[in-house]
């Protein structure tokens, strides 16, 4: 089984109010002509999806659950 790979195209980490980080994520999505916005489910993915949906009419979003692998 092959697993898809993701790539970090930009790091805009910071402390933003929900509407501001949603606008930032959408702007980066458009700037990089990305396929989707991926939200980490175990870090508020449902809230991320709802906030982005309120901020724009159309986007592709994918939820993902990330785990830390031991060395």
- Would you say residue 67 has pLDDT above 60? no
Q: Is residue 23 helix, strand or coil?
A: helix
Residue 40 parent element (H or E): strand 37-40
Torsion 6-54-33-31 (CA) sign? negative
- Would you say residue 6 has pLDDT above 70? yes
Residue 53 parent element (H or E): helix 45-55
Distance CA 56, CA 67 (A): 29
Predicted confidence (pLDDT) per residue in 21-32, tens digit: 888 988 988 898
């Amino acid at each position: 089984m092959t697993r898809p790979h993701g790539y970090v195209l930009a790091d805009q980490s910071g402390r933003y109010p929900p509407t501001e980080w949603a606008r930032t994520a959408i702007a980066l999505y458009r700037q990089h002509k990305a396929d989707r916005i991926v939200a980490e489910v175990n870090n508020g993915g449902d809230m991320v999806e709802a906030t982005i949906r309120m901020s724009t009419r159309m986007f592709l979003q994918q939820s993902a659950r990330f785990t830390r692998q031991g060395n």
